[in-house]
Amino acid sequence: MVSRFHSRNGTCGSGTAPADHPPDIRTQLWDMLRQVPQGMVTTYGALADSLGDRRAARAIGSLLSKNPTPPDPPCHRVVYADGRTGWYKGRGRGAEDKISLLRAEGVEVHEGRVDLEKHLFTEFETVPVLKFMREEQLALSREIDCDGGPLPDTLSAIDVSYDGDTAFAARVDFSLLDGSEIGRERVRTEVEFPYIPGYLSYREAGAMGCLLVDDGRLHVIDGNGVLHPRRAGIACHLGREGHRTMGAAKSLMVGELDGESVRIDGEEKGRKVGRYYVSVGNLVTLSQAEEALGRMLDMGVDPCRRAHSEATRFKRSV
């Protein structure tokens, strides 16, 4: 078994995807915070809206809790949408410190709330990067190729486990003929892009992309392919450079289950195979994706679970 370690700026060798180098949202967020004047506050939602997607609000809260040098950038100037000041320096901590800092800057705080009509700042000069990323996903969805030829003899399952912002990715290779394991590989890398619903590719593709093999094999990816709000999940991103990929997710992100089919606007985009929802990534048909995973499960082998276990073991070993 080969085990490779590399940094975010290192080389991965076998595979890349456009999501390998996502925008540096942390640095962009720090710049936005420095635009909030003394005596004013902003909200998690306002920051998320300026980045291009309100769903990023929770991720912004997580990033602010890890600010290494408070009060610069001034994360204490971020409050909830109802004016509650909330915590400071992590969950359940520093509420009084935050209020003291705000009051020292001229912000009126009454019973733990700020009057947003008087103190709210939302006029950020920034780039809505999440909007552009959604546009990239929509463009990618139009490039998916479902014609990859016959099923190959090799299937590789890829998954990733995290310790904070360190990703531990693992690939386990199997024979589609008899279900035997024929190889493993692992890679560790640092991840800077936060978890934001709908943008998982931009967090995980850097690590997973290092484990792709350019020999025509089918890669089953922990996550979605076209079963995605913009029809381009992580399996599509990883397949973009000509790799054969399929998604296998444990929960249904979008669509409705109709028997064993998953339909979006009446069109079949996925199928339920065992405990997984499979969908096309690239260069594979939906029927082939169903057949490949179903064949492995029928032989008593769950490739997705094996890859998950390998990634978890890798993290624990380090």
Which residues are identified as catalytic?
A: 75
Q: How many Å separate Cα 74 from the centre of its chain?
A: 27
Specify whether the CB–CB gap between 151 and 244 falls below 8 A: no
Nearest Cα to Cα of residue 126 among 62, 34, 196, 198 = 34
Q: Which phi and psi angles does 256 have, rounded to 5°?
A: -125, 140
User: What residues pair up with 219 in beta bridges, in sequence order?
Assistant: 156, 245
Collapsing DSSP to helix, strand or coil, 35 comes out as coil
10 Å Cβ neighbour count for 250? Answer: 12
Tell me the DSSP string of 198-240.
Answer: T-THHHHHHHHHTT--SSSPEEEEEB-SS-STTS--HHHHHHT
Place of tokens 């990733």: 160
Specify whether the CB–CB gap between 235 and 221 falls below 8 A: yes
Residues recorded for the chain: 318
DSSP state of 41: B
Query: Is the preceding omega at residue 73 within 30 degrees of 0, hence cis?
Result: yes
